[in-house]
Structure 1
């Protein structure tokens, strides 16, 4: 996973500050350059009186510049982060950030959480929703209130693993990110039991499943273990939220998930399980784009 340029969308609200705090932390620990962007509405498509059009364009530019000035003030004194500030006209902020990601060569797009969510958890805004169905690069989501409680550095990267070529590729990308950050990697698989009362047969089946997924984790961990420390965990619970609550989390944790195998190639596309993980995780989450099977196969052959 390459981390040379980070793009974050900023608005002068708590969610904008949360996304900026996460982007700064990633940029600082990876040595990446940071682009702070404000996506604002474009001027009217239908021309009006010249004076009105000019005044409206001036107003939009002034508002966008004021927003970027606020971001600049928040970054004041952080000489260890190299930042540039851009404004971009687009009706949809998520679409605008996707366009900017291509134009700037960004390796990661970072946004905050919707204001309606619980503190310390991620709730998808319309911007995040657009990104999670269209972004050509990974998308990082900051929990609500992250700016007020952001750690000094990342401590560990956790990958939510499910056997399959998409997740195998995600593990390789996460291992590269862990090496860049200088942190250990943790691979977890969720084993969910039904809501009914467990019986002897169900317990035996779950135990066999746990043994199988642990074997899968050991197999996929062989490659990353050559470059970074890897921990393995099988998390059990009635649902995704209870399974994630059954383990401990570092203050500087980050979760990575693969995109759904049903989504378009080279795009981030959120599956049902990934959505549940995003909502239940107590830390930032990165969703990785789906990679073509041919490219995944090439990576396996090169590795061998």
Structure 2
């Protein structure tokens, strides 16, 4: 994909493991989509000193030198990840909130995707939501993709498939089409997955509970068929209904390719065209063993205004 409508990716970089994870994932997206890549290092703004309107010159120089060093390191790393230098731009941006700073940069460069790494406290191979992710996952104007902790150490050679965590709901058409457009840009096959939650403990043993569960699975299968039909027109869309006593258990039974990306939509309570992580989506992000793409509510191409799958309610 090239030309004026090519995807612009923004990677948030800090000179640590999470920065390396973000670059590894952003490089895969950039190469797969023929995209342009902006790398931003958000640093604290200078504090006023010696009276209003003045700042400490030495502190400003230090911040700039640290930012320049980090961005030079990022550019060098991207060369080793086979991202053409002419597709890469770097910029430092002062802001007290790293996530809000990245959202500002995304608007300035016209980014269609922000890529970040996991907070350092998380389990390896999983995503932990730190302050940067929290700010972006509660207000980003564009989709956010998160790399699991340690992703750079075992990143695949390419992305292989986009799995969409799907629940029927009233505003699903836009995010569904946005995910399909993203898959098309990267040349990825799609899979739709619905997670059906089984009652825990003794309740699951009662016959009535089993009957309810069977009906839920049957409804989920029908919803997936309708959603796949709505996407239509391209390659067949794989469908899967997975059952578990919680989102982590249900998602744990879903096979994932080395180059898998899992997409989920924002809460239906989110502001329109903003990312806002709901309870269920938050659990999916934390349980996923692969990168996760979080789509804003109401996201989608111009076609998203068309009639979509029947409405309903999601648990998130």
Structure 2 length-normalised TM: 0.89
Look up the SS of the partner of 2:56 in the other structure. Answer: helix
Shift of 1:42: 0.8
1:163 aligns with 2:168: yes
Unaligned runs of 5+ in 2: 309-316
Shift of 1:169: 2.1
Residue 209 to residue 44, structure 1, CA distance change in 2 (3 Å): same
**Aligned match of 1:223:** 230
**Aligned match of 1:61:** 64
- Is 1:157–1:186's contact at 8 Å kept on the other side of the alignment? yes
Cα distance between partner residues in 1 of 2:167 and 2:8: 29
Look up the SS of the partner of 1:15 in the other structure. Answer: helix
**Aligned match of 2:190:** 185
Shift of 1:194: 1.1
Unaligned runs of 5+ in 1: none
Shift of 1:220: 1.1
1:233 aligns with 2:236: no
Moved more, 159-168 or 44-53: 44-53
Matches within 5 A, 1:140-289: 140-197=145-202, 198-289=205-296
Query: How many residues are matched?
Result: 299
Residue 59 to residue 49, structure 1, CA distance change in 2 (3 Å): farther
Q: Which runs of 4+ in 1 moved over 4 A?
A: 46-52
Cα distance between partner residues in 2 of 1:258 and 1:50: 43
Cα distance between partner residues in 1 of 2:36 and 2:304: 31
Structure 1 length-normalised TM: 0.93
Residue 50 to residue 223, structure 1, CA distance change in 2 (3 Å): closer
RMSD (CA atoms): 2.1
Residue 185 to residue 52, structure 1, CA distance change in 2 (3 Å): closer
Shift of 1:45: 3.5
Residue 234 to residue 124, structure 1, CA distance change in 2 (3 Å): same
Cα distance between partner residues in 1 of 2:15 and 2:248: 31
Shift of 1:300: 2.6
**Aligned match of 1:29:** 32
Cα distance between partner residues in 2 of 1:107 and 1:228: 24
